[in-house]
C-alpha cells in the first residue's frame, strides 16, 4: 500500500490552508497513494492559541470536515486529517482531533489527542492545556488495501509520541501501522523527533508514518519538519527535511509479519499494562 505523509507550513487563514492541502492531496493521488496523512493543525496555525476556538466544529459538521470528506471522494483516497478543532462542552476548550475518512467520504474514526504539550525553556513557552481538552481513549481503524491486506491503523498525535504505553495499547489491539501527525517545535524536534519515531516502530514492530509541519510559519513559530516513514525494524525509509511536499513509500505488510516472526517481542511481555 502506497502512503503519502504530507508536510505543510500552515498559515493563519483556514481557507488558504485547505486550498494548499487540496493541491497536496491531488499530488498524492496522482502518485498512486491509497492513504494520505496530513499534519497536525494542517487547517490552522493561528496567530494565538485561542484562534482555534473560533474555528471549532461540531462532530460531523463543519468546513474542515466537509473538505476532508469531499477530498476523499474526489481523489478516491483514504485520508487522515492531521488534526482539527472539535467542540467540547466547554466553550473555552476544543479537542485536538484526528479524523480518518474512507474513499466514499465517510468518517471511519476519530481520535482526540490524549497527551497535551507543555514546554518552557525560558525562551519558548507552550501549554496546550489552555485551550485543548484531553482525549481519553486509544483509537484504531481498519483499511482494506487494494492488494487485499486489511491494515489495522493506530491513531496518535504529536506529543503522544513521548508516551510508549499508548502505542503498546495500539499494537496489542492489532495495529501494524502507527500514524503520528505532528507539529514538533524546532527545538524539541532537533533533539528527539527521529529517535522517538524509530523507537515506537522498533518497540511495536510496526510501520510508522509521521507527517509534520516543517518551516517558519506566518505566526512566527518554527516547526521541525522531517516528515518520515519508518519500517518495522526501525529503519527510516523515506523523509523530507523542510518545506511543503510529500513523503511517499510503498508499505509491505509482509515486512511487518517477518519482523514479528523473527523477533516476537510483542508476545514476550511480562509486566501488565499500568
Catalytic residue list: 40, 113, 158
C-alpha cell at 28: 498524492
Backbone angles phi, psi at 164, to 5 degrees: -65, -20
**Start-to-end CA span in the chain (Å):** 34
Nearest to 218 by CA among 6, 47, 21: 47
How many angstroms separate the Cα of 182 from the Cα of each of 27, 39, 84? 20, 5, 12
**In sequence order, what DSSP letters do the residues of 70-84 get, joined into one string?**
HHHHHHT-EEE---E
**In sequence order, what DSSP letters do the residues of 146-215 get, joined into one string?**
TTS-EEEEEE--GGGGG-HHHHHHHHHTT-SEEE--B--BHHHIIIIIHHHHHHHHHHHT-EEEE-BB-S
Amino acid at each position: 500500500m502506497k502512503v503519502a505523509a504530507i508536510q505543510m507550513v500552515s498559515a493563519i487563514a483556514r481557507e488558504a490552508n485547505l486550498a494548499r492541502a487540496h493541491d497536496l492531496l491531488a499530488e498524492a493521488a496522482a502518485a498512486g497513494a491509497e492513504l494520505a496523512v496530513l499534519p497536525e493543525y494542517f487547517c490552522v496555525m493561528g496567530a494565538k492559541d485561542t484562534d482555534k476556538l473560533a474555528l471549532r466544529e461540531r462532530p460531523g459538521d463543519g468546513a474542515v470536515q466537509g473538505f476532508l470528506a469531499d477530498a476523499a471522494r474526489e481523489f478516491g483516497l483514504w485520508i487522515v486529517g492531521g488534526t482539527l478543532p472539535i467542540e467540547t462542552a466547554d466553550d473555552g476548550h476544543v479537542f485536538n482531533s484526528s479524523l480518518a475518512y474512507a474513499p466514499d467520504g465517510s468518517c471511519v474514526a476519530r481520535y482526540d489527542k490524549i497527551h497535551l504539550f507543555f514546554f518552557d525553556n525560558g525562551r519558548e513557552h507552550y501549554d496546550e492545556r489552555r485551550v485543548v481538552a484531553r482525549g481519553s481513549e486509544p483509537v484504531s481503524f481498519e483499511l482494506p488495501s487494494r492488494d487485499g491486506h486489511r491494515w489495522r491503523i493506530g491513531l496518535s498525535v504529536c506529543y503522544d509520541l513521548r508516551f510508549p504505553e499508548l502505542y503498546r495499547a495500539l499494537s496489542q489491539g492489532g495495529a501494524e501501522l502507527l500514524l503520528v501527525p505532528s507539529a514538533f517545535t524546532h527545538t524539541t524536534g532537533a533533539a528527539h523527533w527521529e529517535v522517538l519515531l524509530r523507537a515506537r516502530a522498533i518497540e511495536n514492530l510496526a510501520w510508522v508514518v509521521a507527517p509534520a509541519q516543517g518551516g517558519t510559519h506566518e505566526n512566527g513559530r518554527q516547526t521541525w519538519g522531517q516528515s518520515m516513514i519508518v519500517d518495522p525494524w526501525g529503519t527510516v525509509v523515506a523523509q523530507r527535511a523542510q518545506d511543503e511536499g510529500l513523503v511517499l513509500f510503498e508499505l509491505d505488510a509482509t515486512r511487518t509479519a517477518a519482523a514479528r516472526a523473527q523477533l516476537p517481542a510483542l508476545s514476550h511481555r511480562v509486566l501488565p499494562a499500568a
